[in-house]
Structure 1
């Protein structure tokens, strides 16, 4: 027969810690819920001797009910739980909150009730809390004693706390111990009702996550005290129903800090509190997601665009973005858009793994894409098992697999082929007048033409045309039809690049030319004005440097002759690890062809 931990329920309800008790589920019931909150389920548990109906499953485990994993008669191991108390018709009753559970034997296999359990009354002293992984308990506390506890435990680090998962607006005496996983910048607003500022942070403990926000003077009070990654004791915040428009965390509630809030840094090493909590969705599943769905995703960066400046249609504001393509072992690739500072600071070289929490699903041109929003979190190369497994897959075979892109790129194909110049010629790229072809090539710079490599341009960002120097200190822009007393320098590098199979003359515009020369156009312009020899030396230093070029090639007619024009679309340092893998794969395919021919 199946062995239950007999007597476990009496011990638990009397505050005695029971490690991973084995219990039987004899039924469950959905609890009436408030508007816009997740379903909650009340469990009927048995230890073979006692019955207890004052047990609740945390909402993060609801899938065990909805997918019929946790059914009547199931034998389960309670891996983690917590106790709290509620007022039930004037009586204080202890509630066991199930934080983690493992089904040992499905109910369909057990098929009956084990033993002859009788109902326990659930009575206990009021307002007492304990957790299965700590030996401390919280006795009845007033707001003043909470403050006293925080001060007295500044050095002992043994402060009694309750899990985030059991917080509710009906409790006002609690302390949580949680890690800050994400902290926003301070944001300001102004409308007809006034103006103000706020910041928010995401908190996590072993049981759940919750969003916490501070406004106005409270924002100033706490912002500089909080650092992402640190663990804090927090008490006396207001709890209210979560606004899902601004938070992607799976919690019915959110916290608001007040002038009465207490916050204390925890100095102890708490490995049991995770750095982040993810619920990853395979990239291949995104094709079945609805627009504006929020998901967590894990992927390896294969390619990424340069920073782009776009204008928001609704407001006319200029936005900064960068598109990043990621793949996973589901055999699919998708474009993830980063914004603002995150886009500017992003470094995608050496194929990092990205763990993204709260990415928004979008649709474009019949494809799917993902976009980070204010509440999203991006972790680069996270130290989690899923990331380690994905790295092994990508290193061993994933980088060689043909993956399906779910996204339809708007500004070029980031999955374009890597060719030699000889291969590009054989593919007849750019020969059609009505088509622009693109490809990548690993090449070395032979020469940069000095003539017209830098020019004085219109100071208006959207123009950038070459100015006419009127020799009066005034510069004329024919496009804008205006005179300007100033200008900006811009680069236009006409260069010859080569690989083992051939060479091409290409044009690299300002941003890419700056990457090649390692200096801004303004700095080079000043250098040319003050020290032409040093300027020439700087141009010569670029010779024999090797890069990965993305080229656009098209045919055009010039003076009644057809010619190929090559333009540099982007440039990146050569990732030797990836390139060597590409060459090995190419050699392997050539050897296979030769074997077939010899056979």
Structure 2
């Protein structure tokens, strides 16, 4: 058998970060460690891997599109891989690689770590002490010029050379962070806002923002004042651009954006924006749809994407803001989909006044806010967008359903379902666990809703809750940076304590089998009979009492309202069963239901 060590690209990792050495295009390395990063709510799983070329080892982060190598078990400690696509980065002074694509070389087998590789940072930092010029490739060495003049010439040289060299290596949006230095992204402008002005005690100004998309993710970018004048007309929705730093990277202000990115960009005076000649190699608008029937289980003020058939178009009207006393144009639309539910969606401003879409059209909305006013309703954010009859699979499937049967169906609004607060539990589509599995509920692209009467037999006590932000309507996970200091990156605030929220995993059983169910905070409080905050306090101060709480929560039977939806992890698929509500058994209602079933049988 071939010695695997003979295939490893010794020294290749150091060369990636050293411009004086020849880089191996697709180096072969050994995986010496792999582990998941701490989970974050509403974010996909992320994995960190350590790769060795025998001489050195380096920390790497797998892009989400490479997660399937971990989840399918092919990328394991000791195996050998070929790094096909990657991006060098520096985070807090440490060298890391963002791995975009790789091949696991199964024919080389697996073995213990080969050699005694050294950490890459030490060697690189040692070499950098002996380098006077910057290693970016955009500067030059001018030892005989005054410092200020040399700096000026470096800036001019960088400005001239960036356009010719920026397109050589494209940086993925997913890898951008405040620790990234020189980079160029190639991205499609999926949304451009109107120019907005402000006037306050500190002065006045104007701004606009764009949403940018590439294969790895999305990010919001904003231009103020001079950059607004310079770049506004250049950006056109749907077009692809090269954008090169300098460009400020900062924590995203989630109240102004609907994109799934922790960071956002601010254009600076030297930011280079150039329209790309090739316009077809960057994806179009990317959606992450929530079906209308699932809105009842979506938390208030969450930003989502939704697609539906336009059932009704309301008249133009105006509303006056209570805070600014300004009047705003609005129009209410009614959307329906194959779940049998309808929802009211409000559009504002010029979108409302210029709205001329025909009923029965398919509309995809990106960036709508969920409200609980009168049940569940939606509102299109100023940063959101609307696409009529998009050429995507979800739209074609929805149109086919509506033409075949949806046109004649009756739809249930979330207003009526949210007001049904009586003791009776909705038992339509009541399933046994065996039926859930046999009918493969959730295996289609659309989620399936069903009721389940089952008994809790096990509560997973690991990670039963998470520390959440205290800000109203945030709920994002916070991190303890110092004792008594909890940091929320989304709100950019620090609190003396968190508010714990449930993320429970239950194993339930009926007479036909067992099933794992995911539960969030409202359901968790019902199951445990106490808040997550109180439970954490008990767990820290009285382990015996905490054990009793979990013991008492077991062996109780509930009526669960569930959603079955397929989740994709690379090439793997699995069905996730999420509980939207749980009610204890009402024995009088159960007795009446059984009596009705008995009476319905014909007696021969």
Per the normalisation by structure 2, the TM-score is: 0.53
1:299: how far off? 1.4
Q: Match for 2:403 among 387, 391, 395?
A: 395
CA distance 1:214–1:24, change in 2 (3 Å): same
- Structure 1 unaligned runs (5+)? 106-112, 128-137, 410-599
Q: Determine the structure 2 residue equivalent to 1:54.
A: 59
Quickly say closer, same or farther: Cα 1:405–1:310, change in 2 above 3 A: same
Question: Aligned equivalents of 1:104 and 1:329: distance in 2?
Answer: 44
Distance in 1 between residues matched to 2:337 and 2:64, nearest whole Å = 28
- RMSD of aligned C-alpha atoms? 4.4
Q: Relative to 1, partners in 2 of residues 1:343 and 1:255: Cα closer, same or farther, differing over 3 Å?
A: same
Contact 1:10/1:50, CA 8 A, preserved across alignment: yes
Q: List per-residue Cα deviations over 1:510-538 (Å, max 9, x = no partner).
A: xxxxxxxxxxxxxxxxxxxxxxxxxxxxx
| Residue pairs, 1:216-255, within 5 angstroms | 216-235=225-244, 236-255=246-265
The alignment status of 1:301 with 2:310, answered yes or no, reads yes
Q: For the residues of structure 1 that align with 2:163 and 2:75, how far apart are their CA atoms? A: 47
Partner of 2:35: 28
2:174 paired with 1:170: no
Distance 2:380 2:38 in 1: 34
1:100-111 to structure 2, matched below 5 A, reads none
Change (3 A) 1:104 1:344: farther
Structure of greater relative contact order (alpha carbons < 8 Å, 6+ residues apart) = 2
Contact 1:292 1:361 in 2 (8 A): yes
**Paired residue for 2:506?**
none
How many residue pairs match? The answer is: 377
Contact 1:30 1:39 in 2 (8 A): no
Counterpart pick for 1:209 among 208, 218, 241: 218
Q: 1:146 to 1:7 in 2, by over 3 A?
A: farther
Alignment check: 8 A CA contact 1:283 1:330 kept? yes
Report the alpha carbon displacement of residue 403 of structure 1 after superposing the two structures with TM. 3.1
Aligned-partner Cα distance in 2 for 1:238–1:40: 27
Given candidates 196, 202, 210, the residue that maps to 2:205 is 196
> For residue 382 of structure 1, what is the aligned residue in structure 2?
390
Q: Deviations over 1:150-183 (max 9, x none)?
A: 4436xxx954321111112223312211111111
Q: Is the 8 A contact 1:40 1:58 kept in 2?
A: no
* Equivalent-residue separation in structure 1 for 2:25 and 2:215 (angstroms): 17
Task: Encode CA deviations 1:183-235: one digit per residue, 9 max, x unaligned.
Answer: 11110111122111111111111111111111112211211122111111112
Equivalent residue, structure 2, for 1:116:
112
Q: Which residue of the partner structure matches residue 438 of structure 1?
A: none
Q: CA deviation at 1:401?
A: 3.5
Q: 1:304 to 1:171 in 2, by over 3 A?
A: same
Q: Higher Cα Rg: structure 1 or 2?
A: 1
Change (3 A) 1:391 1:29: same
**Who is 2:484 aligned against?**
none
* Cα distance, 1:318–1:32 mapped onto 2, change above 3 Å: closer
Which residue in the other structure is 1:451 paired with? Answer: none
Residue 385 of structure 1: how far off its partner (Å): 2.3
Q: In the aligned structure 2, how far is the partner of 1:404 from the partner of 1:326?
A: 11
Q: 376, 379, 395: which is aligned to 1:368?
A: 376
Task: From the superposition, tell whether residues 278 and 39 of structure 1 become closer, same or farther in structure 2 (CA, over 3 Å).
Answer: closer
Report deviation, 1:56: 0.8
Q: Distance in 1 between matches of 2:55 and 2:361?
A: 53
What secondary structure is seen at the aligned counterpart in 2 of 1:371? strand
Q: Which residue of 1 aligns with 2:137?
A: 140
Q: How far did 1:361 drift? A: 0.2
Q: Distance in 1 between matches of 2:284 and 2:330?
A: 27
* Equivalent in the alignment of 1:338: 347
Match of 1:85 in 2: 89
Q: Could you say if the C-alpha distance between residues 122 and 265 of structure 1 is closer, same or farther in structure 2, counting changes exceeding 3 Å?
A: farther
Distance between the aligned counterparts of 2:224 and 2:207, measured in 1? 4
CA 1:10–1:358: 2 relative to 1, 3 Å: farther
Q: Which runs of 5+ in 2 are unaligned?
A: 17-22, 126-134, 140-154, 418-604
SS in 1 for 2:182: coil
Structure 1 77/230 Cα, relative in aligned 2: closer, same or farther at 3 Å? farther
Q: Determine which of 333, 357, 375 is the counterpart of 1:348.
A: 357
Which residues in structure 2 correspond to 1:422-571 (within 5 Å)? none
Cα distance 1:402–1:165, how it changes in 2: closer, same or farther (>3 A)?
A: same
Q: What pairs up with 1:582-597 in 2 under 5 angstroms?
A: none
Closer, same or farther: CA 30–401 of 1 in aligned 2, 3 Å: same
Alignment match, 1:575: none
Counterpart-to-counterpart distance in 2, 1:334 and 1:304 = 12
Distance 1:158 1:61, change over 3 A: closer
Q: Residue 386 of structure 2 aligns to a residue in which SS?
A: strand
Q: Deviations over 1:561-581 (max 9, x none)?
A: xxxxxxxxxxxxxxxxxxxxx
Secondary structure of the equivalent of 1:284? helix
Mean CA deviation greater in 215-224 or 5-14: 5-14
1:57 and 1:97 in contact (8 A); partners too: yes
| Cα distance in 1 for residues equivalent to 2:69 and 2:8 | 23
CA contact (8 A) 1:8 1:18 kept: no
Cα distance per residue 1:332-367 (max 9 Å; x no partner): 2211111111011222315222221111000122x1
Alignment pair present for 1:43 and 2:45:
no
Report the 3-state secondary structure (helix = DSSP H, G, I; strand = E; otherwise coil) of the residue aligned with 1:221.
helix
Q: Give 2:98's aligned residue.
A: 97
Shift of the alpha carbon at 1:63?
Answer: 11
Paired with 2:207 and 2:189, the residues of 1 have a C-alpha distance of 16
Tell me: CA distance 1:116–1:23, structure 2 relative to 1, closer, same or farther (3 Å): closer
Task: Determine if the alignment matches structure 1 residue 161 to structure 2 residue 161.
Answer: no
2: CA distance, partners of 1:343 / 1:101? 47
Q: 2-side partners of 1:282 and 1:217: how far apart?
A: 41
Is the Cα contact below 8 Å between 2:91 and 2:180 reproduced in 1? no
Q: Give the structure 1 partner of residue 536 of structure 2.
A: none
Aligned 8 A contact 2:184 2:243 in 1: yes
SS at match of 1:173: coil
3-state DSSP class of the match of 2:160?
A: helix
2:299 matches 1:256: no
